[in-house]
């Protein structure tokens, strides 16, 4: 989705901002723009371009100097991708420039009023109303002009504002769309994502909803939209700039798939308690008594995180014997769900900023529920809104499609299930068994990844398919769902996941040689049932690729996955299917890291 980056200091701002925009490219965008000035300059200078950051760079003139600037990558919502619709937007007198992430719900209304008052709009965007309102404000200070404008706005925003009459400051505000300040030595940065900051500073301040900030080269201050000062202690981010590099891989997706052994090692580190065969999860803010009082668990997330939640729900039911289920947060928030005080709600999100998940958390909190967050990005909105939770410590995930965060989230759920189980009836022996299984995971993931060449060959054989069916049963079903999502996202091949148990209730009608089926076949108590499903497909001349713990006679091909404990098997079974999706997309020449129409962090509805 859209990205913001801004700088104020002594350095030449344009190259810095262009580099910042490149770091945000992974979020998905269709146009970009930049505006700069300096205390000595006469006014603001702006360049915008449809297309990539490199297209913008090519348009920036040699003499485009300044020491204050803001820049943006836009992901079209109101109005098609074009030079005019790209941000920044500037007022008619060229004095005010704004970049904006989010959606202004009452933009059409405000636009009508402004047009009736003689204001001419240059773009079709909702953002442009902000610029005109700020420019027309009669307040003396830039902060007050912005504040007055925000009072008229309904919707979500992360904004950065510059004004030709105040070249020594940038004013920013947040409501529902992330804004992070980067604190440097006699220089300040702002961005919508720490990815754009970490090359310059690891000291950050994350704004809350309803908060604004003024950045000057040697100072920043934060305050509410009502003007009350807020305290903002900078925190240090652990992620290094190098974590955002491709590290010798051709794509981020490939790099991130290969980082999984190390990432899983990180989510486990320091959390295992061998003495009591359990885990320490201090951040949950849930003591043993609270944990025992939980009567249900409800997990909320979107897309891949929702699938990780489905795996998590099963682990919680199996290990802690607490009824648990997962639901898309995007649905939950609109159905006036019954909120039960004895239910533990868990919000799952890699980015910690997905609007649907955040809105579900806010609705739950409003109704008095206890909400935990399972999140990757430290300090993100969902992490801060939740009553407690766990970080999955996967490191930055740059590819739009999620791989290592999915795996680490599943492992985080295994830790939580073990913790809840050991406050209840899970025996010491079972606790030990799960811990041993968890400890084996990094090594088994590495073994799995060593089979990449075989999976690549299989991908070449299936890349011609127009559609693919993924089936699994109980533990295997969420794995099938996630694998089917991965394949469609990166390869654009239609894929559908079904419980294997439901085959004869409908989808069997689709089976023919041209529709390959990927069957998830763990060696557990449902093995024979899964074999029977494969028989049914084979009897109708369907092709089968099995993901199993041993060669499957009924399958045309089998990817053999190392066996772990039954409860943990779904974690490993997802990994070869990430590689299958990756190599299928590669052989079809797809834009793997930035699939069409998708964005990394969905901060709008």
- Select the residue whose beta carbon is closest to ligand F6R and give its number: 303
Task: Determine if 357 is a binding residue for ligand F6R (CB under 6 A).
Answer: yes
Contact region for ligand F6R (CB under 6 A) — 99-107, 237-245, 296-304, 533-541? Answer: 296-304
List residues bridging with 170 in a β-sheet.
215
Q: Residue 26: enclosing H or E segment and its boundaries?
A: none
128-136 vs 107-116: helix axis angle to the nearest 10? 50
Position among 402, 408, 423, 558 found at the interface with ligand F6R (CB under 6 A):
402
For the bound state, the minimum distance from the C-beta of residue 406 to ligand F6R, rounded and expressed in Å, comes to 7
* Given the residues 2, 302, 399, 405, the one annotated as active site: 2
Show the tokens assigned to 521. Answer: 């076949």
Q: Kindly give the interhelix angle for 404-422 and 303-320, rounded to the nearest 10 degrees.
A: 20
Site for ligand F6R contains 304 (CB under 6 A): yes
Q: Does 305 bind ligand F6R (CB under 6 A)?
A: yes
Peptide bond just before 145 cis, omega within 30 deg:
no
Q: Which stretch binds ligand F6R (CB under 6 A): 302-310, 531-539, 563-571, 575-583?
A: 302-310
Q: Could you say whether residue 489 binds ligand F6R (CB under 6 A)? A: yes
Gap between the Cα atoms of 88 and 603, Å rounded:
19
Residues in the chain: 605
Which of 73, 101, 206, 350 is the binder for ligand F6R (CB under 6 A)? 350
Residue 180 forms beta bridges with which residues?
A: 191, 206
Q: Which of 153, 401, 420, 435 binds ligand F6R (CB under 6 A)?
A: 401
- Contacts of residue 503, defined as CB under 8 A and 6 or more positions apart, other chains included, come to 471, 533, 536, 537
The distance of closest approach from Cβ of residue 486 to ligand F6R in the complex, given in angstroms and rounded to an integer, is 6
- Compute CA 138 distance to the chain's CA centroid, rounded to the nearest angstrom: 40
Give the shortest CB-574-to-ligand F6R separation in angstroms: 12
- Number of residues binding to ligand F6R, judged by CB under 6 A: 14
- The CA-to-CA distance between both ends of the chain, in Å, stands at 12
Interacting residue with ligand F6R among 303, 389, 476, 542 (CB under 6 A) = 303
Dist CA 265 CA 285 (whole Å): 23
State the pairing for strand pair 170-175/211-216. Answer: antiparallel
Q: Is 365 a catalytic residue?
A: no
- The two structure tokens encoding residue 413: 């759920």
Q: Does 48 participate in catalysis according to the annotation?
A: no
Closer to ligand F6R by Cβ: residue 290 or 496: 496
DSSP for 91-114 reads -TTS-EEEEEES-BTTHHHHHHHH
In the bound state with ligand F6R, the residue whose beta carbon lies nearer, of 31 and 350, is: 350
Taking the complex as a whole, the smallest distance from the CB of residue 182 to ligand F6R amounts, in Å, to 21
The minimum distance between CB 302 and ligand F6R, in angstroms, equals 4
Residue 578 binds ligand F6R, judged by CB under 6 A = no
Q: Is 394 in the site for ligand F6R (CB under 6 A)?
A: no
Kindly report the number of other CB atoms within 10 A of residue 167's CB atom.
21
Shortest Å, Cβ 279 to ligand F6R: 23
d(C-alpha 97, C-alpha 95), whole Å: 7
**Minimum CB–partner distance for residue 353 and ligand F6R (Å):** 7
The encoded tokens of residue 558 equal: 């089998």
Rounded Cα–Cα distance for residues 387 and 371 (Å): 6
Query: Do 364 and 191 meet the contact criterion of CB atoms below 8 Å apart?
Result: no
Residue numbers 501-530 binding ligand F6R by CB under 6 A: none
Nearer to ligand F6R, 217 or 586 (CB): 586
Nearer to ligand F6R, 402 or 530 (CB): 402
Structure-token pair, residue 288: 């043993």
Task: Single out the segment in contact with ligand F6R by CB under 6 A; choices: 97-105, 261-269, 299-307, 533-541.
Answer: 299-307
- The distance of closest approach from Cβ of residue 303 to ligand F6R in the complex, given in angstroms and rounded to an integer, is 2
> What is the longest distance spanned by two Cα atoms in the chain?
79
Q: Does 354 bind ligand F6R (CB under 6 A)?
A: yes
Based on the shown chain and the rule CB under 6 A, indicate whether residue 302 belongs to the binding site for ligand F6R: yes
Residue bearing tokens 């849930």:
286
Interatomic CA distance for residues 165 and 396, integer angstroms? 38
> Between residues 57 and 397, which has the closer beta carbon with respect to ligand F6R?
397
If one asks whether residue 351 binds ligand F6R (CB under 6 A), the answer comes out as yes
Query: Binding residues for ligand F6R, per CB under 6 A?
Result: 302-305, 349-351, 354, 357, 401-402, 489, 601-602
Active site positions, annotated: 2, 600
């Amino acid at each position: 989705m859209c990205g913001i980056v801004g700088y104020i200091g002594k350095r030449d701002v344009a190259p810095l901002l262009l580099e910042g925009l490149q770091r945000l490219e992974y979020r998905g965008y269709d146009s970009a723009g930049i505006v700069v000035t300096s205390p000595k300059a006469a006014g603001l200078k702006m360049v915008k371009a449809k297309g990539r950051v490199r297209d913008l760079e090519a348009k920036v003139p040699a003499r485009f100097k300044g020491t204050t600037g803001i820049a943006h990558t836009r992901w079209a919502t109101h109005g098609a991708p074009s030079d005019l619709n790209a941000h920044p937007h500037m007022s008619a007198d060229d004095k005010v420039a704004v970049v904006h992430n989010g959606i202004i719900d009452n933009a059409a209304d405000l636009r009508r009023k402004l047009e009736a008052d003689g204001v001419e709009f240059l773009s079709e965007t909702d953002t442009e109303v902000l610029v005109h309102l700020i420019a027309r404000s009669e307040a003396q200070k830039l902060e007050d002009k912005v504040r007055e404008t925000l009072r008229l706005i309904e919707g979500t925003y992360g904004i950065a504002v510059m004004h030709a009459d105040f070249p020594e400051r940038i004013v920013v505000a947040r409501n529902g769309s992330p804004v992070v300040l980067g604190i440097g030595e006699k220089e300040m940065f702002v961005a919508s994502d720490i990815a754009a900051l970490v090359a310059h500073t690891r000291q950050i301040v994350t704004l809350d909803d309803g908060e604004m900030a003024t950045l000057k080269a040697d100072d920043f201050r934060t305050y509410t939209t009502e003007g009350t000062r807020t305290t903002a202690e900078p925190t240090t981010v652990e992620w290094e700039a190098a974590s955002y590099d491709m590290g010798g891989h051709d794509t981020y997706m490939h790099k991130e798939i290969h980082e999984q052994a190390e990432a899983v090692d990180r989510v486990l580190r320091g959390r295992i308690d061998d003495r009591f065969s359990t885990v320490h999860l201090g951040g949950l803010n849930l003591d043993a008594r609270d944990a025992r009082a939980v009567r249900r668990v409800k997990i909320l997330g979107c897309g891949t995180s929702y699938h990780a939640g489905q795996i998590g729900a099963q682990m919680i039911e199996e290990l802690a014997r607490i009824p648990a289920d997962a639901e898309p947060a995007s649905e939950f928030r609109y159905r006036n769900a019954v909120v039960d005080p004895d239910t533990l709600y868990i919000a799952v999100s890699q980015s910690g900023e997905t609007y649907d998940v955040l809105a579900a958390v806010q609705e739950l909190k409003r109704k008095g529920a206890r909400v935990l967050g399972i999140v990757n990005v430290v300090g993100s909105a969902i992490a801060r809104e939740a009553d407690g939770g766990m970080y999955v410590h996967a490191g930055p995930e740059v590819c739009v499609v999620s791989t290592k965060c999915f795996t680490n989230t599943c492992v985080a759920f295994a830790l939580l299930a073990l913790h809840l189980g050991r406050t209840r009836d899970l025996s010491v022996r079972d606790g030990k068994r799960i811990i041993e299984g968890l400890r084996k995971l990094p090594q088994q993931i590495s073994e799995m990844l060593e089979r990449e060449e075989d999976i690549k060959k299989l991908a070449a054989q299936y890349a011609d398919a127009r559609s693919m069916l993924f089936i699994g049963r109980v533990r295997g079903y969420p794995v099938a769902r996630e694998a089917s999502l991965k394949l469609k996202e990166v390869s654009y091949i239609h894929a559908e996941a079904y419980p294997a148990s439901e085959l004869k209730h409908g989808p069997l009608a689709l089976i023919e040689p041209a529709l390959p089926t990927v069957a998830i076949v763990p060696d557990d108590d449902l093995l024979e049932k899964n074999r029977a499903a494969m028989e049914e497909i084979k009897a109708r001349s369907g092709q089968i690729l099995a993901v199993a713990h041993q060669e499957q006679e009924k399958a045309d091909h089998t990817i053999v996955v190392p066996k772990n404990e039954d409860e943990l098997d779904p974690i490993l079974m997802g990994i070869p299917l990430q590689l299958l999706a990756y190599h299928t997309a590669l052989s079809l020449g797809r834009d793997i890291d930035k699939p069409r129409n998708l964005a990394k962090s969905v901060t709008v509805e």
